[in-house]
Amino acid sequence: MTAESRVLALFGDLLEYPNSDLARTARECSALVGLENPEAAAFLTEFVAFAERTPANTIEEIYTATFDLNAQCHPYIGYHMFGEAYQRSALLLELKDRFQDYDFDPGIELPDHIAVLLRFMSICTDPEEIEEIAREAVLRTLDPMTLIPESDPVEEGEEAPELFDWGVDYRRVLLALRLVLRARYGEPEELKPIPIPDPELLVS
């Protein structure tokens, strides 16, 4: 497995339901990413610290609150692209066909789960197919998942709202992934670049 494929597999592991190897996985991913993308590695380093200091049951609760209870961060690519329209069903069938071509097992998740797609990209041997999934599916999902909502103006004497006051830890992983994929595959043509926030501005 190449370093690029390993990075995709590690991101897939980080974005699936958490397990006991979370900190180690994030540490390896940060080390590999940092060779070419220090900004992405900075987000992952913060996530390592979170994974090391946070009890496993709390991490599970945070994962669920971030990805399952907030529609903006649902981990299903097809949901963000099509909602519940029939096009999503067509996408799921197409992905299943592609997975079968590689004898790839998505496990218990639906084929359009972001972690499943990243793991599939890590074993896919067709560069054009990997780029298509990255640019036309995953990046289109990461932009809305990591977009900072506009805040109401802050009145004099009021405290400014905290940046990313929910799901901040896993959003760091999403931001790191967005940086890595954009550097590697470019941006979807129809999407305007969305600024990446300074890692030091993110609050836990």
Distance CA(134)–CA(118), nearest Å, equals 9
Q: What is the mean pLDDT of each run of 10 residues along the chain (204 residues)?
A: 94 95 96 94 96 95 90 88 85 93 93 96 95 91 72 48 63 95 82 49 50
Q: Which letter, b or e, does each residue of 51-68 get, where b requires 16 or more Cβ atoms within 10 Å of its Cβ?
A: beebeeeebeebbeebbe
Asked whether the beta carbons of 163 and 179 are under 8 A apart, the reply is no
Count of C-beta atoms within a 10 Å radius of residue 169: 20
**Predicted TM-score of the model (pTM):** 0.84
Q: What are phi and psi of 76, to 5 degrees?
A: -100, 115
Q: Partners of 113 in the beta sheet?
A: 76
- SS3 at position 115: helix
Please answer whether residues 120 and 106 qualify as being in contact, where contact means their C-beta atoms are separated by less than 8 angstroms. Answer: yes
Instruction: Count CB neighbours of 107 within 10 A.
Output: 11
Q: Mention every residue, 6+ apart, whose C-beta is less than 8 A from residue 5.
A: 121, 122, 123
- pLDDT score recorded for residue 156: 53
